Structure 1
Amino acid sequence: MNSNRLFPASLRLGIGLAAVVSLSACGSGGEESSAAGEGESCKIGMTQINQTAVFFTQMNEGAQEAAEAAGCELTIANANNDSATQSSHIENFVSQGMDGIIVVAIDVNGVTPAVEAAQEQDIPVVAIDAEVEGVDTFVGVDNEAAGTEAAQWMVDEGLVEGQSYGVVDAKNSFIQNQREDSFRAVIDDNGAEYTQSVNGDNVQETAANAAQDLITAQPDLDFVYTTGEPATVGAVAALEGSDDTQIIGWDLTKEVINGIDSGLVRAVIQQNPKQEGIEAVNELVAILGGAEPKGFIGVPIEIVTDENVDEYRSIYP
C-alpha cells in the first residue's frame, strides 16, 4: 500500500476542533454502530470479535478515546465470534470509504483475502491481538512468547514438576492455540502431566460447561490452564469452592480477581487491551498522515498474582 496517503487537508492542517465520538457497544447480532460529530474527516472501521468479553470492550474504549483525540469517526462492528462475518465487515468498510481499518481477528487466515482487498484500495489495515499476514502494523502481545513466559514463571515458582493439568481453550482462536502450544511445550518438558484440552469457543457459558466437563473427567487435576478471558471466567465458575485445583489463566475480570483472593486462581497473564486500542488508532492516524508503518507495536504482559492484584482492582470494580 501507499504509506504516504494523507488526511484530508482540513484534518491535516488542524482546522476545526475534533468532534467527540460517542460510541455505544454493538448488540450481539453483528450490527454496526457509529457516532460522530459534524465536520469529522477521518473514518476508521474496526471489526471486533465480540462485545461480551471485558477484554474486547476495554479495547473498544481505548480505540474510542484515541479516535476522539484525533477527530476521527470510529465504527465498531461486532463479529459475534464468526470469522466469515469479519470478512464481510472489512468488505463493507471498503465500500463505505473508510480511511483505515482495524481488525481483531478470530481466524487470521480467514480474513486475509478481505484485508488484501482493502489494501488494494490503498486502505491501511492494522491488526490488534492476533497478527494477520500482510497488515501494515500488528499491535499486541507476542502470544507465543507470552505463553512461554508464563510457563517459565511456573517452573521458577516450583509449580510444575509432577503436577497434572488440563486446558480450557478456544479452538477457533489462532492466538489462543499459540498460547496453549507454547505454554505446554515448556511445562511438559519440565515434568508436568498433561491430561486433555476442552474447547470453550471463546464464549463464557460454553467455557464454563467445558471446564465442568474437564473437572468431571479429570477430578484430580492440580491446575487448569485457560487461554483467554471467557475460558478463565468459565473455569472460575466451574471450580468455585475447589480446594485441590488451581487456575493459571489469561485476562482479569472482577470474577477472576475474586478467584485470586480466594486462592482458586494462582496467576493471570494480563494484557493491556485499552492501550492496544489506543495504539491501533494512533498508528492509523500516523500512517494516514504520511508516516511509515511501524510493522509491530508490542504491548507487554504482566503476570498478576495475589502480590500485585491490588493495582487492578479499580479497573474491575
Structure 2
Amino acid sequence: MRLFKLLVGCAAVVAMCSTALGSALADTFALVNINQQALFFNQINEGAQKAADAAGAKLVIFNANNVPSAQNDAIENYITQKVDGIILVAIDVNGVKPAITAAKAAGIPVIAIDAQIPDGDNVAFIGVDNTKAGEDIGKFYADYVKSEMGGTAKIGIVGALNSFIQNQRLDGFKKAVTDSGQAITFLDTVDGQNVQETALSASENLMTANPDMTTLYATGEPALLGAVSAVTSQGRTGDVKVFGWDLTKQAIQGIDDGWVVAVVQQDPAGEGKAAVEALAKLKKGEKVEPIINIPVTIVTKENVDQYRAMFK
C-alpha cells in the first residue's frame, strides 16, 4: 500500500511538473489592435483568441484606443518582453514601420492584418484588398443608381481620414463610380475619425449642409453606425439610400426597411484566426504566404438572412 501511494505521489509530481513545463514553454503572441469599441475589432480579437487556445498559445491583446503612437509603444514593449510573435492592426501604416523593423531585428515576426504596411518588414499581410473591394461596392452602387434611380444621384461620404485602409476604400469607390458614366455628383466628404459618436455628428452635419443628398457611402463600421443613426434621427430614411462597410444590427434593420441598400461584410474573426495560425507555423519553422487574402461579401436584402445570427 505504501509503495502504491508512493507511486501515485510520484506520478502526481511528474504531472504537475509537466503541466508547469508546458505552460512555461507555451508561445506568447501579442495582438496590437486599434480599439475595442467597434465590433469589427472585437471579432478580430475573438477569432485570434480561439485560434490561440486551439494552438495552446497565450495571447495578449493591446487596445491602442485610436492612438497611433500607442501602437509603436506597445510593439516596443512586446519586443522587450520577448514575445514569440506580434499581430498588428495598424492605424498609421507608415508611422508604425520603425517599430515593425525593430521587431524584425529582434527576431520577432510581425503579421499585419486588415491594413497593409507599404514596404514594411512584416512577414505577411492577412486581410482584404480594400481598394478592389471599394471598387466592387462602387460598381454595385453605380449599377443601383442606373437601375433604381434613373442614373442620377448625389452622394455624401462619411469616412475616417486617419485610416489608410478606409481611404483606400474611398478611392476605389470613387474610381468605380466615376468610370461608370452615371450622372453622380460627389458632395462633401466628412471625417468620422473611426469613432461612432464623431461619425454621427459628422453625418448630421453632412445632411444638414446637403439637403438634396440622395445617397450616402460610409467607409467603416463606426462611420456606418453614425450614418445610419443620423439618417434615422433626421427622418431621411425615405429619401437617402445608404451603402457602406461592416454589418451591425442597426444596418441589418435598415436593409430590412429598404433604405440601407448594400454593406460590404468582411470576416474579421477569420483574419484574427489566420494570423495566429500563421505565427504558429512560423514558430515551427514553416513558411507562410506573404499575402493571405480574406474574401468579402456584399450583403443586400437577398443574402442578409445568413448574417442575422451574428447580431442576436
What is the TM-score of this pair, normalised by structure 2? 0.88
In structure 2, what is the equivalent of residue 174 of structure 1?
164
Partner of residue 288, structure 1? 283
The 1-side partners of 2:286 and 2:222 are apart by 37
SS in 2 for 1:314: helix
Post-superposition CA distance 1:186-220 (Å, at most 9, x none) = 11232311011000000000000000000000111
Further displaced range: 251-260 or 147-156 = 147-156
Partner of 1:217: 209
Q: Tell which structure's C-alpha radius of gyration is larger.
A: 2
Structure 1 residue 154: deviation in Å?
2.2
Cα deviation digits, residues 60-114 of structure 1 (max 9, x gap): 0000000001111100000000100000010011001100000000110011000
Shift of 1:134: 2.5
What is the CA deviation profile of residues 226-284 of structure 1, one whole-angstrom value per residue up to 9, with x for unaligned ones? 00000000000000142100110000011111111122211000000000000000001
Q: CA deviation at 1:221?
A: 1.1
CA distance in 1, matches of 2:43, 2:19: 26
Q: Give the distance between the partners of 2:286 and 2:25, measured in 1 at CA.
A: 21
SS of 1:221 mapped into structure 2: coil
Alpha carbons of structure 1 residues 166 and 65: separation in structure 2 relative to 1, 3 Å = same
Mapped contact 1:139–1:296 kept (Cα < 8 A): yes
**Residue identity in the other structure for 2:162:** N
CA distance in 1: counterparts of 2:273 and 2:239, whole angstroms: 40
Whole-angstrom distance in 1 between the partners of 2:204 and 2:84: 45
Q: Tell me, in whole angstroms, the C-alpha distance in 2 between the residues paired with 1:156 and 1:209.
A: 29
CA distance in 2, matches of 1:284, 1:16: 24
**1:305 pairs with 2:309:** no
Residue 134 of structure 1, aligned match among 108, 118, 121: 121
Alignment of 1:50-61 (within 5 A): 50-61=35-46
- Matched residues in 1 for 2:187 and 2:143: separation? 22
Identity %: 47
User: Aligned equivalents of 2:286 and 2:153: distance in 1?
Assistant: 50
Q: Deviations over 1:8-63 (max 9, x none)?
A: xxxxxxx97899xxxxxxxxxxxxxxxxx944510001110000100000110000
Structure 1: state its 5+ residue gaps.
1-14, 20-36
Query: Which stretch shows the higher mean deviation, 117-126 or 153-162?
Result: 153-162
In the alignment, which residue of structure 1 is the partner of 2:227? 235
Q: 1:149 aligns with which of 116, 131, 136?
A: 136
The match for 1:46 is: 31
Q: Give unmatched runs, 5+ long, in structure 2.
A: 1-16
Structure 1 SS opposite 2:78: helix
Quote the residue 1:195 is aligned against. 187
Quick one: which of 33, 45, 51 aligns to 1:66? 51
Alpha-carbon distance change, 18 to 254 in structure 1, aligned in 2, over 3 angstroms:
farther
8 Å Cα contact 2:104/2:121 also seen in 1? no
Shift of 1:152: 1.4
Match among 179, 185, 207 for residue 175 of structure 2: 185
Supply the RMSD in Å over aligned alpha carbons.
Answer: 1.8
Q: 1:17 to 1:232 in 2, by over 3 A?
A: farther
CA shift, 1:304, in A, is 0.3
Give the length in aligned residue pairs. 286
Amino acid at match of 1:248: F
Query: Which secondary structure state, in structure 2, belongs to the residue aligned with residue 131 of structure 1?
Result: coil
Match of 1:117 in 2: 102
Distance (Å, rounded) in 2 between the aligned partners of 1:218 and 1:291: 55
Q: Distance in 2 between matches of 1:255 and 1:246?
A: 14
- Residue aligning to 2:89: 104
Q: Secondary structure at the match of 1:163?
A: strand
User: Hey, what's the Cα distance between the residues in 2 that align with 1:77 and 1:58?
Assistant: 14
* C-alpha separation in 2, matches of 1:246 and 1:316: 22
Structure 2 counterpart of 1:199, one-letter code: D
Distance 1:303 1:135, change over 3 A: same
SS at structure 1 position matched to 2:186: strand
Q: Is the 8 A contact 2:38 2:221 kept in 1?
A: yes
Q: How far has the Cα of 1:155 moved from its partner?
A: 2.8
TM-score (ref. length: structure 1) = 0.87
Q: Which amino acid aligns with 1:266?
A: V
**In 2: Cα distance, 1:224 partner to 1:297 partner:** 31
